Amino acid sequence: MIDHFTWLAPFYEKVIPPPDPDEILELLQPHRSGGQLLDAGGGTARVSGQLTDYYDEVVIADLNRAMLRQTKEKQKVQPVCAHVEALPFPDGYFSNVLIIDALHHFCDQTESLREAVRVLKKRGRLVIGEPDINNIFVKGIALFEKLALMRSRFLAPEAIKGIVDSFGFHAEITRDNPWSAWITVVK
């Protein structure tokens, strides 16, 4: 099997820039007292590396060691090599959990979301940003990733919401552009 992310790691952030940190902060609503942020599937910390001033601790959980090695250039980011489906953290440890452009790469999306909610503190926020498979451009990306043997499985935002809602929580979907969506959950 091709290890796409090891190959992409050195220039990933040059090809795929991070989203606007102000938009992420608005969705996360970090506590003024700091707290802990988990960036699940966060790779090089391209997103959460911009948020370290708002948290006491920022942890990147990713399975790809080459992507995690890229985090060494970012201050105050702690890389952890782990499957998101089996996070090595206690229940309710993180103030916020972030999954940006990664859920479609997880082996078991339902279990990954269950774990993200498990490690989230009460009243904490889980923010998921995913390409919207309902968009024709995203369907093209999904086809490309399938042809490249990436094992990606894109879910519609409504399907992601349905999974989280099945855990007994209420997820909200917001869209600020036609090719991606934000799914937000408050525990």
Res. 126: pLDDT tops 90: yes
Higher pLDDT, 3 or 125: 125
Q: What is the pTM of this model?
A: 0.88
How close are the terminal C-alpha atoms of the chain, in Å? 37
Q: How many CB atoms lie within 10 A of CB 47?
A: 23
Tell me the domain boundaries of the chain.
Answer: 4-9+22-186
**Helix 109-118 vs helix 157-166: angle between axes, to the nearest 10 degrees?**
50
pLDDT band at 1; cut points 50, 70, 90: very low
Let me know the angle formed at the C-alpha of 184 by 104 and 33, rounded to the nearest 5 degrees.
120
Taking only the tens place, the pLDDT of each residue in 11-37 is 556 666 777 889 999 999 998 778 999
Res. 9: pLDDT tops 60: no
Distance CA 160, CA 102 (A): 13
Angstrom distances, CA of residue 168 to CA of 96, 122, 153, 180: 18, 13, 24, 25
Place of tokens 């479609």: 104
Taking only the tens place, the pLDDT of each residue in 61-108 is 998 887 788 787 777 899 999 999 999 999 999 999 999 989 988 989
Q: Which of 86, 87, 91, 67 is nearest to 13 (CA)?
A: 67
Share of the chain above pLDDT 70, in %: 88
Calculated CA dihedral for residues 160, 161, 163, 164, nearest 10 degrees: 120
Phi first, then psi, for residue 37 (nearest 5°) are -120, 130
DSSP 52: G
What's domain 4-9+22-186's architecture?
3-Layer(aba) Sandwich (3.40)
Which residues does residue 174 pair with via DSSP β-bridges, in sequence order?
182
